[in-house]
Amino acid sequence: MKDAHSDREDLVEAAVSQIHVLEGRNEELGLAGFDVRRFRRVAASITFGAQAAEATVKHLRTAGGDREIDLIVERADGRVVGIDVKLARDVTDDHVHHLRWLSRQIGDELLDSIVITTGQDAYRRRDGIAVVPAALLGP
């Protein structure tokens, strides 16, 4: 039987592995002006939590590249949470259009949609999308 320390090591290893997958996007994100270090911290925090919940973290980009969701957390039953990370304090409709598209595509399979921002307040928009400051995810 594995002890708690071994379980934590497995979770950290899985999170680091997922970060390496996501790092393949560094050059592209850097060109877009996004703070890659912030994205890594957010992705690591989400991946660590997802692994603890026995979920996986993926990235979605359509074949044509016209739709993209930064992080898709998928449970074993196939239901997902869509997460976009934005270098913005305030969230506009433009920031959430990919998440709204995802909702239209998969309906009830989408458990929740979240935008992670540089803002200070967590709230839920009128369209139901959660807005969460990156600072709430930990160091």
Which stretches of 1-130 are DSSP H helices?
4-23, 26-31, 36-52, 93-106
44-62 pLDDT, tens digit each: 888 888 888 899 999 888 8
pTM: 0.74
pLDDT tens profile 62-112: 888 899 999 999 999 999 999 999 888 899 999 999 999 999 999 999 999
For residues 113 and 128, what is the distance between their CA atoms, to the nearest angstrom?
Answer: 8
Cα separation, 117 vs 89, whole angstroms: 6
Domains of the chain: 4-137 (3.90.1570)
Whose CA is closest to 52, among 113, 4, 85, 111?
A: 4
